[in-house]
Structure 1
Amino acid sequence: MTVRTRFAPSPTGFLHLGGARTALYSWAFARHFGGTFVLRIEDTDLERSTPEAVQAILDGMQWLGLSHDEGPFYQMQRMDRYREVVASMLEQGTAYLCYCSPDEVEAMRERMRAAGDKPRYDGTWRPEPGKELPPVPEGVKPVVRFKNPLDGEVTWVDVVKGPITIANKELDDLIIARPDGTPTYNFCVSVDDWDMKITHVLRGDDHVNNTPRQINILNALGAELPQYGHLPMILGADGAKLSKRHGAVSVMEYPAQGYLPEAMLNYLARLGWSHGDDEIFSMEQFTEWFNLEHLTASAAQFNPEKLAWLNNHYIKLADNERLASLVRPVIEREGGVLDGAPALPTVLALVKDRAHTVNELADTAMLFYRAPKPDAALLAQHLTDAVRPALAAFAERCKEVEWSKAAIAALFKEVLAAHGLKMPQIAMPLRLLVTGQLQTPAIDAVLELFGRDTVLARIGKGL
Structure 2
Amino acid sequence: AHLPLLLKPEGNGKLSKRDGDRFGFPVFPLLWETSLGYRESGYLPEAVINFLALLGWNPGEDKEIMTMDELIRLFDLNRCSKSGAQFDYKKCIWFNHQYIQQKPNEELAALFLPILEKQGVNASFDKVITVIGMTKERINFIEELWNISSYFFVAPMQYDEKAVKKRWREDSARCMTELFEVLQSLNNFSSQEQEKTVMNWIVQKGYHTGDIMNAFRLALVGESKGPHLFDITHVIGKEETLTRIKRAITALK
User: What TM-score bracket applies, with the shorter chain setting the length?
Assistant: 0.7 to 0.9
Shift, 1:273, TM fit: 1.4
Question: What is the aligned length?
Answer: 234
**What's the counterpart of residue 425 of structure 1?**
211
- Residue from 64, 67, 70 that aligns with 1:279: 64
**Does 2:95 correspond to 1:316?**
no
Give 1:349 shift: 0.8
Residue 438 of structure 1: how far off its partner (Å): 1.9
- TM-score (normalizing by structure 2): 0.82
Whether contact under 8 Å (2:8, 2:87) holds in the other structure is yes
Is the Cα–Cα contact under 8 Å of residues 431 and 438 in structure 1 kept in the other structure?
A: yes
Q: Which amino acid aligns with 2:211?
A: Q
Which residue does the alignment assign to 2:8? 236
Point out the structure with max Rg over C-alpha: 1
Deviations 1:324-345 (A, max 9, x none): 2222222333x24224797211
> Match for 2:89: what amino acid?
P
Deviation at 1:293, TM superposition (A): 1.8
Q: Does 1:397 find its partner at 2:170?
A: no
Q: Is the 8 A contact 2:105 2:132 kept in 1?
A: yes
Match of residue 28, structure 2, among 240, 247, 250: 250
Other-structure match for 1:448:
234
Using a 3 Å threshold, how does the CA distance of structure 1 residues 456 and 446 change in structure 2: closer, same or farther? same
Alignment-derived partner of residue 53 in structure 1? none
Contact 1:433 1:459 in 2 (8 A): yes
Q: 1:349 to 1:454 in 2, by over 3 A?
A: same
Q: Name the CA distance, whole Å, in 2 between partners of 1:448 and 1:270.
A: 43
Q: CA deviation at 1:462?
A: 2.2
Contact 2:4 2:83 in 1 (8 A): yes
In structure 1, the residue corresponding to 2:132 is in which secondary structure?
A: helix
Q: Please, what TM-score do these two structures have when normalized by structure 1?
A: 0.47
**Alpha-carbon distance in structure 1 between the residues aligned to 2:160 and 2:141:** 31
Q: CA, structure 1 residues 443+352, in 2 after alignment: closer, same or farther (shift >3 Å)?
A: same
Change (3 A) 1:409 1:345: same
* Shift of residue 234, structure 1, vs aligned partner: 1.0
Of the three residues 94, 106, 111, the one matched with 1:326 is: 111
Alpha-carbon distance in 2 for matches of 1:418, 1:241: 68
Provide the residue aligned with 1:437 in structure 2: 223
Cα 1:340–1:251 change in 2 (3 A) is: closer
Counterpart in the other structure of 1:363: 147
DSSP 3-state at the match of 1:428: helix
Q: Cα gap change, 1:293/1:376 in structure 2, threshold over 3 Å: closer, same or farther?
A: closer
Task: Structure 2 unaligned segments of length 5 or more: list them.
Answer: 31-36
- RMSD over equivalenced CA pairs, Å: 2.3
Decide whether the 8 Å contact of 1:342 with 1:450 is kept in 2: no
Distance in 1 of aligned mates of 2:27 and 2:150: 29
Secondary structure (helix, strand or coil) at the match of 1:230 reads: coil
CA distance in 2 between counterparts of 1:376 and 1:341 reads 30
Is contact 1:273-1:294 (8 Å) kept? Answer: yes
- Counterpart mapping for 1:142-221 below 5 A: none
* Superposed displacement of residue 421, structure 1: 3.4
In 2: Cα distance, 1:426 partner to 1:307 partner: 41
1:267 to 22, 42, 51: 51
Separation in 2, partners of 1:242, 1:310? 20
Q: Is 2:201 aligned against 1:415?
A: yes
Letter in 2 for 1:289: L
Match of 1:406 among 163, 178, 192: 192
Higher helix share: 2
Q: Percent identity?
A: 29
| CA gap 1:302/1:420 in 2 versus in 1, 3 angstroms | farther
